[in-house]
Amino acid sequence: MMKKVFLTVLSLGILLHASAQKIAPFKAGDRIAFVGNSITDGGHYHSYIWLYYMTHFPNARITCFNAGIGGDAINQIYDRFDDDVFTKKPNILTLTWGMNDSGYFEWYRADAQDFMDKRIQGSYKYYGMLEEKLNQRPDIKKIFILGSPYDITSKFTTKNIYPKKDVAFSKIIDFQQEAAKKNGYGYVDFYHPMAAINAREQVKDSTFSLTPNDRIHPDNDGHLVMAYLFLKAQDLENKPVAEVDVNAQSKKVLKTVNCRITNITAGADSLSFMYLANSLPYPLDTIPRGWGNRKKQADALKVVPFTKEFNQETLRVKALKAGDYKVLIDGEQIGHWSAQQLADGINMAEITTTPQYQQAIQIRELNEERWDIERRTRMYVWMHYDFLKGKGLLHNDSNNAMDTVKKYAVKDVFVNGNKDNYTRARYKSLRDAWQKEMDVLVNQIYAINKPQNHRITIVASK
């Protein structure tokens, strides 16, 4: 058993390294459309990626768009691309697909394999048509996301097991990777590292899953794993929030990374200086977000080293006299440590009461408000492309369209789930107001996300 666990951990390390096929980090002014199905539509990975940029690169404003629709296969993504993706004027887009193309209950048919083989070939045909469309836009950088896996092995339930879906989806993932390589697109692999994490954790707990609700949709922890893999592919790991190394005896700054230290003063049992970082810590969420989710974003720390690689704000103070010390920021105590612990270094990004972390929390909450409003707009788009289009009512928000929604909502659980939102969203004035709200929120984020100058004081405990 120990040998199996070691090999699983080793293979995960190799996969995490291999998945990080380098893609360029986003830069100021970039407009990124994240295109996909329900995992993008209702998920947080793109919002978590943006939050990293909001806090780590406060002066490099970017714009991210959720361009996912629940239930979409590649043919549906192709059909809406001009109206729903290109109209956002992205200069970068990510594309993920395949979960819905690889089927569900179809795998219980007597002719399942033949039926699904034909369906998947049809998906490849539509992908080819979309590829032609993409290649006509050299002004847009393309990044394929090899999507999060379907978890057939977890024992958390006996439901939602579709025989051979995992095999079919794996083949689609291989197809996507080859297509990306052939066209010179970037790609980020969520599939293999997340499958390896599931395998590793299920050795210890057979009910573990990054998709713990239905085997398909990642929970919040799974979405942070996805954001982690994306940021890692952008070669952003090990770029600290800040690093400070000060000698208390000589009152000298030994090292600074991504910050500035000024006005150092020292007494017999104290040291004080002004600290201005260029970034803010990443404010991990400890509340389950999104409909049906039970996991917290912070739960991902149990399975990936996000804090170690992406959230280090190190304070290191050397040559203090032996003893215990209080650390204060702007006069407020954030903790107490021994001289040795301070010499080794503390990670302030793990202390939620610091003024810089409290500043970052506000950014997170504003971003969550933005995410929630954007979800309403995606539900509206779903209603048009996945329902009204089939009734000949695409882009039609008349009373007839509303009556049609009400009629089919009686028996169609998906239409019913989107009905209340559509009763409001069908009015352009409401949609315009939602866009203005999102604009205000993003403007506010980039107004308050600039790090502030703080006085850090280290004083001996009495």
398 lies in a domain? yes
Q: Average per-residue pLDDT in the chain?
A: 95
Query: Which pLDDT band holds residue 12 (cuts at 50, 70, 90)?
Result: low
pLDDT of 10 reads 53
pLDDT of 25 reads 98
Check whether 427 has a pLDDT greater than 80. Answer: yes
Same domain, 197 and 298: no
Same domain, 374 and 461: yes
| pTM of model > 0.75 | yes
- Percent of the chain at pLDDT > 70 equals 95
pLDDT of 14 reads 53
371 lies in a domain? yes
307 lies in a domain? no
The burial of 369, by beta-carbon neighbours within 10 Å (0-12 exposed, 13-18 middle, 19 or more buried), is given as: middle
Domain final residue pick, 233, 254, 270: 233
- Nearest Cα neighbor of 194 from 274, 99, 260, 112 is 99
User: Which residues constitute the domain of residue 138?
Assistant: 2-233
pLDDT of 2 reads 43
Same domain, 68 and 157: yes
pLDDT of 290 reads 87
Section 172-181 average pLDDT:
98
Q: Which residues contact 458 (CB under 8 A, 6 or more apart)?
A: 248, 270, 271, 272, 317, 320, 325, 326, 327, 328, 342
341 lies in a domain? yes
Same domain, 279 and 175: no
Same domain, 212 and 251: no
Check whether 245 has a pLDDT greater than 50. Answer: yes
Distance CA 155, CA 9 (A): 20
Structural contact between residues 290 and 220, judged by C-beta atoms closer than 8 angstroms: yes
123 lies in a domain? yes
Check whether 451 has a pLDDT greater than 60. Answer: yes
Check whether 17 has a pLDDT greater than 60. Answer: no
What are 182-227's pLDDT values in tens digits? 999 999 999 999 999 999 999 999 999 999 999 999 999 999 999 9
Q: What does the block give as tokens for 167?
A: 């095999």
Same domain, 326 and 186: no
| Distances from the Cα of 165 to the Cα of 109, 118, 347, angstroms | 13, 14, 43
366 lies in a domain? yes
* CATH assignment at residue 57: 3.40.50.1110
Same domain, 226 and 317: no
Check whether 118 has a pLDDT greater than 80. Answer: yes
> Which strand (E) or helix (H) includes residue 187?
strand 186-189
DSSP 3-state of 273 = strand
Same domain, 159 and 270: no
Strand partners, 275: 261, 454
pLDDT of 151 reads 98
Structural contact between residues 210 and 194, judged by C-beta atoms closer than 8 angstroms: yes
Burial 66-94 (b: 16+ CB within 10 A, else e): bbbbbebbbbbbbbbbeebbbeeebebbb
Domain count, the chain: 2
452 or 11: which carries more pLDDT confidence? 452
Q: Which of 40-44, 151-155, 267-271, 345-349 is predicted least confidently?
A: 267-271
User: What is the C-alpha end-to-end distance of the chain, expressed in Å?
Assistant: 51
Domain final residue pick, 233, 250, 265: 233
pLDDT of 6 reads 44
376 lies in a domain? yes
Same domain, 284 and 398: yes
Domain final residue pick, 175, 199, 233: 233
Query: Which pLDDT band holds residue 338 (cuts at 50, 70, 90)?
Result: very high
pLDDT of 1 reads 42
Same domain, 196 and 227: yes
Same domain, 439 and 367: yes
Same domain, 223 and 298: no
pLDDT of 419 reads 97
350 lies in a domain? yes
Check whether 291 has a pLDDT greater than 90. Answer: no
